[in-house]
Chain A
Amino acid sequence: MAIATTVLGRLIKAAITLLAIVVLNFLLIHAAPGDPAAVMAGEAGAADEIFIAQLRERFGLDQPLYVQLWNYVGNIIQFDLGYSYRQGAPVFDLIMERLPATLLLTLTAFGISLLFGVAMGVAASARVGRAGDSVITGIALLFYATPLYWAALMAVLVFSVWLGWLPGFGYETVGGGFTGLSRALDILKHLILPATTLGLFFMAVYTRMTRASMLEVAQMDFVKTARAKGLPDRVIRRRHILRNALLPVVTLAGLQAGQLVGGAVLTETVFAWPGIGRLMFESLQARDYNTLLGVFLISAAMVILFNIVTDLVYRLIDPRIGATR
């Protein structure tokens, strides 16, 4: 019951946030230098007067601003994100076609970064002040300072160009003709480099956070209680320290989701990964603002959804949240 109310509350909040983003998009179109219709059509399509006239008509650009806003919001509520003149397809369709690849990439990267980040953070905290700790903290610090796209490029250079171990471009082998399991394996091979390089930065974040959190929790009174019971250290670390230390990491992971989607733009660009990040880059190049804003909206929606999920996970871990005394 409490969960249902929470989810409902979150969904209402999410709807309000999305609406606000739609309004933001609308304002941006009007803030852009030049004719809003030309902005939406993209500069490259500016020559096509008929199309721009159509746009003017459709959005009623001669009407007062609030009417235009009303129309704009109305369209988007019906999943009409506009038409990409450059790509010759509705923006919504373009995005839906690309979304699975991005989900695969970001979720894999998220899994990798969280798993390895927490493991490394735990390992470092267990060796605090010793060589193992310094090595792990050093690696984390380095990844934390490395631009995502550069890590991706260097990975391509080393593992694809020089060593030839893994493919450096694309989602699957073009014309490979794989089906079923062999296709899945082929995609997996293509996934390794992009997912790992996208995850590196976030892994560093989680490593640092987990380490700090573990050390903090280790100082708490209940850990002393656990030791006074005669529990072995590894049980104390797993059952008492780690579980409590994960709470802030989960919170952070939820907040980081947005950055993961942003990072996907860079990774997908480097690896020619056919997701919405790559779509965003292409629309940038083509100045196809309609598509750009559409991707922006959908990625925000993804992040909001992800936040709701982490919120629920948090509730599962921490009995104190949402309980009525």
Chain B
Amino acid sequence: MSDTVLRIENLTLDLPSGADRAHAVHDLSFTLARGEVLCVVGESGSGKSMTASALMGLLPGAVTIGGGRAIFGGRDVLALPEAERRALRGAKIGMIFQEPMTALNPLMRIGDQISEVFEAHGLLTPTERRARALALIEEVGLPDPKKIIRAYPFQLSGGQRQRAMIAMALALEPEILIADEPTTALDVTTQAQILDLIAEIRQRHGMAVMFITHDFGVVAEIADRVIVMRHGEMVETGPAAEVLAAPKHDYTRRLLDAIPSNAVPRPDRVTAAPALEIRNLRKTYRTGGGWGRAAREVRAIDDVSLTIAKGEVLGLVGESGSGKSTLGRAVVRLVDPDSGRILVGGEDMAALDANALRRARRRVQMVFQDPYASLNPRARILRSISEGPVAQGVAKRDAEARARELLEVVGLGADAADRYPHEFSGGQRQRIGIARALAMDPDLIIADEAVSALDVSIQAQVLDLLRDLRARLGLSLLFITHDLRVAAQLCDRIAVMQKGRLVEIGPVDEVFLNPRDPYTRSLLDAVPGASWADGGSPARAEAI
């Protein structure tokens, strides 16, 4: 594992004038050895993806190379003419991207997109290319290769598309595989499979992998060595086990601390009266149909019953398509359930007419996922927060005074009220969203993936705020998330949903330590870095 494939020396990438800083990457040096997995970790804006783009020669027009070298095969790839860089791309350095849904040409068959790699480098005859494509599809574990080779991207799931991307990157057996957050957009079980596949391929082909991620769990899962980046600079590097176990730099330590650990807290058993009772709730979506075709049915909520006690935090976890968000939205009637009861303070939300609903909605408020879409861009913060109470009959002056007060409560300061959403960062906007929910003085708050779009360190701050508010105000919270580690940190009880059904519900320690349902178990097993977080050593990285 010693011979160096790639040596980056003092790489600096300049941002265009007018950007919020001068360099996307500043004075970065590192090496990549044959057969190793090097994880480049950092939050958004750390310059980790830019580094990869620079290596591939795929920098966006405005970003330029300010200095430094990247020695690969005895030559500085940054200084090569475009034609020679192109010859390297795909052949010697392969790359896979974050968004499998958009990274494939929607109008081309999968087989053609793989064959194209050979064509790009003038290799093989069309028949041979096809045969190789078929073999590659087989190698990355796609089902029914003969069918897949003729399929269009839209006919594949996200995980399958990412496998197809890997097949393309593998086609010419490159010496380096650059993976830019390849599992971030995937569900946790799919993520585990793709990580396994990358590890397996690395072993079989002996290629070096530069794996870019924001997730230390993934690092623990796959990395041999780690580089931690912040604001375009490397703050720490070393073997994965060392960095994870004993981070030297303060920033790394904060990042690691910010990761919700799997050390499951022992919750107080809550026995108070229920804040929310859901009884036999159902919602089925029908799509298509007509013209004699049968409609497709998706049971988004399939006979779900659960209770949240006053002052309790219930975590609702599941993968995409499990129906967890639909359930949350059904509680507040943003989605109309087909049948069942939703009791809030003795009133059945499911049975209310439009007028009664408008009044009753005060009781349950939501904090949303996307900090950029959850605030009206043309309204001042004050209006966004006070509008609801005013509509409910609170005097405007009182509502506005309360809004300023709440902005203090969520840690923003009262003067935030007179500004517009675009003046705030993602984490700050989530705080505003929380203040808006609190302004209605609700019995229950539903947080729908409220921290998922945030960087880890920001995530930790928002979770702290929620924990603090809960302690101070005795909030009841339905916390919807795909991230089991986050759920473990905050929740008293955990409910697990799969394909619309509630498969398990129980106190957080029981669900995590003694899952009864096999699906819960598989979810827990798939969490990246699970063994490391439990206090063990990096599992897979060590085994190789």
Contacts and interface: CB of A to CB of B under 8 A. Distances in A.
Contacts of B169: 228
Contact of B58 (A5, A224, A231, A244): A224
A222 B105 contact: yes
Contacts of B291: 5, 9
Interface residues of B, number: 31
A87 to B, nearest CB: 44
Interface in B112-133: 116-117, 119-121
A221 B103 contact: yes
Interface in B60-91: 86-91
Given A5-B291, A228-B58, A230-B121, A244 B168 contact: no
Interface string A158-199: 000000000000000000000000000000000000000000
Interface stretch (B93-101, B135-143, B263-271): B93-101
B103 A232 contact: no
A244 B89 contact: no
Given A235-B120, A319-B152, A319-B154, A230 B87 contact: yes
B105 A227 contact: no
A231 B120 contact: yes
Contacts of B334: none
B126 to A, nearest CB: 15
Contacts of A221: 97, 99, 102-103
A240 interface: yes
A298 to B, nearest CB: 30
A320 B152 contact: yes
A318 B152 CA distance: 10
A226 B106 contact: no
A196 to B, nearest CB: 32
A230 B120 contact: yes
Contacts of B88: 230
A227 B155 contact: no
Nearest to B151: A319
Best-buried of A226, A317, A323 by chain B (most CB within 10 Å):
A226
A130 interface: no
Contact of A325 (B56, B108, B155, B165): B155
A10 to B, nearest CB: 12
Contacts of A230: 86-91, 117, 120-121
A225 interface: yes
A57 to B, nearest CB: 45
B86 A319 contact: no
Contacts of B168: 225, 229
Contacts of B99: 221
A246 to B, nearest CB: 9
Given A232-B86, A320-B152, A227 B58 contact: yes
A50 interface: no
B89 A228 contact: yes
Given A221-B97, A225-B104, A225-B165, A320 B154 contact: yes
B155 A231 contact: no
A3 interface: no
B97 A318 contact: no
A220 B102 CA distance: 7
Given A221-B97, A319-B154, A228 B104 contact: no
Best-buried of B99, B116, B155, B168 by chain A (most CB within 10 Å):
B116
Contact of B106 (A9, A229, A235, A320): A320
Nearest to B100: A221
Contacts of B94: 228
B543 interface: no
Contacts of A325: 154-155
Contacts of B91: 230
B107 interface: yes
Given A220-B102, A221-B99, A228 B154 contact: no
A243 interface: yes
A318 B105 CA distance: 11
A230 B87 CA distance: 6
A205 B88 CA distance: 40
A224 B103 contact: yes
Nearest to B102: A221
A226 B107 contact: no
A227 B154 contact: no
A229 B105 CA distance: 13
A320 B106 CA distance: 8
A126 to B, nearest CB: 14
A225 B120 contact: no
B170 to A, nearest CB: 12
A44 to B, nearest CB: 50
A228 B152 contact: no
B361 to A, nearest CB: 36
Contacts of A225: 97, 103-105, 165, 168
A225 B105 CA distance: 9
A243 B109 CA distance: 13
Nearest to A319: B152
Contact of B90 (A220, A229, A239, A240): A229
A222 B56 contact: no
Given A224-B97, A228-B89, A229-B90, A243 B120 contact: no
Contacts of B105: 222, 225-226, 240, 243-244
B107 A228 contact: no
Contacts of B108: 239-240
Contacts of A9: 291
B58 A229 contact: no
Interface in A193-229: 220-222, 224-229
Given A220-B102, A221-B99, A228-B56, A317 B107 contact: yes
A4 to B, nearest CB: 11
Contact of A244 (B106, B116, B152): B106
A180 to B, nearest CB: 43
Contacts of A226: 105, 116
Given A228-B95, A231-B90, A325-B154, 19 more contacts: A220-B102, A222-B102, A222-B103, A222-B106, A225-B104, A226-B105, A227-B56, A228-B90, A228-B94, A229-B168, A230-B88, A230-B117, A231-B119, A239-B116, A240-B108, A243-B105, A319-B152, A320-B154, A325-B155
Interface of B: 56, 58, 86-91, 94-95, 97, 99, 102-108, 116-117, 119-121, 152, 154-155, 165, 168-169, 291
The 9 closest A-B pairs by CB, nearest first: A230-B90, A230-B89, A221-B102, A229-B90, A231-B120, A228-B95, A221-B103, A222-B105, A319-B152
19 contacts: A5-B291, A221-B99, A222-B105, A222-B106, A225-B105, A226-B116, A228-B90, A228-B97, A228-B169, A229-B117, A230-B87, A230-B90, A231-B116, A232-B120, A239-B116, A243-B107, A318-B106, A319-B107, A320-B154
